Amino acid sequence: MSLVNVGRPTRPEIETTPAAVVPASLTGAHGLLQDEALIFELGGWEKTGVDLPEPEINGSDLGDLYRTDPISLPGLSEPETVRHYVRLSQKNHAIDLALYPLGSCTMKHNPRLNEKLARLPGFADLHPLQPASTTKGAVELMAGLAHWLTTLTGMAAVALSPKAGAHGELCGILAIRAAHEARGDARRRVLTPTSAHGTNPATAAQAGYDVEEIAQTADGRVDLADLTSKLGPDVAAVMVTNPNTCGLFENDVIEIARLTHEAGAYFYCDGANFNAIVGRVRPGDLGVDAMHINLHKTFSTPHGGGGPGAGPVVLSEALAPFAPLPWIVAGPDGPELLEQATSEASDALGRLCVFHGQMGMFVRAYAYMLSHGADGLRQASTDAVLNANYIKARLQDVMSPAFKGLCMHEALFDDRWLEGTGVTTLDFAKAMIDEGFHPMTMYFPLVVHGAMLIEPTETESKAELDRFVEALRALAAAAKAGDVHRFKGAPFHAPLRRLDETLAARKPKLKWTGG
């Protein structure tokens, strides 16, 4: 029903209300955003939102194993549950609402077709240990996904089971470790650039290696001289992100691979930024031995507020024999899962997880790839790079690009342009929230002072890019004009103001304890 305007004023009676006299709401609500309590403050201890039949037993057969103490879990009726979680959802920003420029995160559109297909009972209601004769279509899909991933990367094999990017890194480094061990060649060190994602050194350490950093050149790339000086017979692997976290293609990548191989080490590529080059460059042609692919970045499976992801790892001929179980192998009537270390898979490095990996993500990513096709994927990476360069070009006169020239799929700025304004990168990011945008990645990579890393992705229209650019230009002008309060106090219009993270860490309160 539309509002009947007749006889009613449609303009505010007060033209402008000074911000200082805007009254706070009486209830804690924020416009239509409710001040929503925790489930533990809302729910009833006797309440439930499910109707289940009355059990015929009472658990007395379990004796001492029976749980007697209260569990202390409140319940809500169905309408209350819906309202609680819908209200909470409204306090989130999302890619469905606006450009989400988190560099290195590839926040692109998540097609709903993929959600629908992942919910087909033939995929969603399938047990991982059902007899093989009842899961042929699922394994065929995995084989299809594997074919696309190996073709797009030009690599020999792929391990599908890793559950996220960092898990994929671990898989790749463990395969490298297994390859060295198989030759009786115990190596101790892994080299990775200072600009690397934190997961790279963390992964190498988790795999039992000492981590050493490779310096970066003034133009934001791996310093070959430093790399050469650090390579040696005890280096197991060199881990490089390409395009790197400065948004630049490592133009010496083939030489990096050659030097790495010459030292008897393997070349691991962090594939977090694969979105920039899909269909234009095959990592296998660059000399890469292992690379994880974040299906939740490059191939658009939803981020879900922090997961689940999927991190399949493509492997070179040299590393393929060490892939973890399960393997997908050719059977007499189609692809099959090989789940045990038979003679065929005697070098398999073990198992990354209990079952076969993130099938739900495989379905979504496969649907995404089939939808694009080889031509669409190439256009997607091209548009991702075009969009980033457009943002860089349109902001470079008011903000300071960290590096000159073209970028790949993300544009990196430093904070030189904020010098003397009293505004920091953090302040600027928080002020973006008031203008309706999620901040870019801040203070990463660590090699750039006050870094602001903007990744628009290919699924943004020119109109949305322009809206974003205009917002940032307006903010830049405000910062330079001395409007410091706008930044220091930001955000003003978000569901909450700036949160005290120091307090949270000093006295950790990690669960509801009543009162």
Partner 1 sequence: MRYLPLTEPDRAHMLAVIGAPSLDALFADVPDSARLDRPVDLPYVKGEAEVERILSRLAAKNTAAGAGPFFCGAGAYRHHVPATVDHLIQRSEFLTSYTPYQPEITQGTLQTVFEFQTQVAALTGMDTANASMYDGSTAAAEAVLMAHRVTRRAKAVLSPGLHPHYAETIRTLAHSAGVDVVRLPLGIDNEAEVLNHLGPDVACIVLQTPNLFGTATDLTAVAEAAHAAGALVIVVTTEAISYGLLKPPGAMGADIVAAEGQSIGNGLNFGGPYVGLFAVRDKLVRQMPGRVCGETLDADGRRGFVLTLSTREQHIRREKATSNICTNSGLCALAFTIHMSLLGEVGLRRLALLNHQAALKLRSALEVIGGIEVLTPRFFNEIAIRLPVPAAPLVDALALKGILAGVPVSRLDPGAGMDNVLLLAATETTQEDDIAALVSGLQEALA
Distance CA 152, CA 3 (A): 54
Say whether residue 39 binds partner 1 (CB under 8 A).
yes
CA dist 297 and 228 (Å) reads: 32
Q: Any contact of residue 360 with partner 1 (CB under 8 A)? A: yes
What is the per-residue DSSP string for 443-477?
Answer: S-STTSTT-EEE---TT--HHHHHHHHHHHHHHHH
425 in contact with partner 1 (CB under 8 A)? no
Q: Looking at beta carbons only, is 1 or 24 nearer to partner 1? A: 24
Does 224 bind partner 1 (CB under 8 A)? Our answer is no
Interaction between residue 467 and partner 1 (CB under 8 A): no
Q: How many CB atoms are closer than 10 A to CB 51?
A: 6
Q: Which is nearer to partner 1, 10 or 181 (CB)?
A: 181
Alpha-helix residue ranges (DSSP H) falling in 292-424: 359-395
Query: Considering only CA atoms, which of 496, 465, 444 is closest in space to residue 394?
Result: 465
Is the backbone of residue 158 left (phi > 0), alpha (psi -120 to 50) or beta? Answer: beta
Q: Which of 17, 91, 262, 481 binds partner 1 (CB under 8 A)?
A: 91
> Is residue 380 near partner 1 by the rule CB under 8 A?
yes
Task: Please give the torsion angle defined by the CA atoms of residues 20, 23, 28 and 32, in that order, rounded to the nearest 10 degrees.
Answer: -100
By CB under 8 A, is residue 92 in contact with partner 1?
yes
Rounded to 5°, angle at Cα 265 from 173 and 229:
120
- When asked if residue 247 is in the footprint of partner 1 (CB under 8 A), the reply is no
* Contact set for partner 1, span 162-221 (CB under 8 A): 163-167, 169-170, 174, 177, 197-199, 201-208, 211
- Considering the rule CB under 8 A, would residue 422 count as an interface residue with partner 1? no
Q: Which of 184, 306, 420, 515 binds partner 1 (CB under 8 A)?
A: 306
Nearer to partner 1, 264 or 308 (CB): 308
Binding mask of the shown chain, residues 317 to 356, with x at each position contacting partner 1 by CB under 8 A: -------xx-------------xx--------xxxxxxxx
Question: According to the binding rule CB under 8 A, does residue 489 interact with partner 1?
Answer: yes
Question: Using the rule CB under 8 A, is 116 a contact of partner 1?
Answer: yes
| Nearest distance from C-beta of residue 82 to partner 1, angstroms | 6
Interface positions, 260-289, toward partner 1 (CB under 8 A): 277, 279-282, 285-286
Locate tokens 């033939």: which residue?
122
Contacts of 489 (CB under 8 A, 6+ apart): 497, 498
* 8 A C-beta contact, residue 342 and residue 325: no
Contact code string over 133-162 relative to partner 1, x by CB under 8 A: xxxxxx-xx--x---x--xx----------
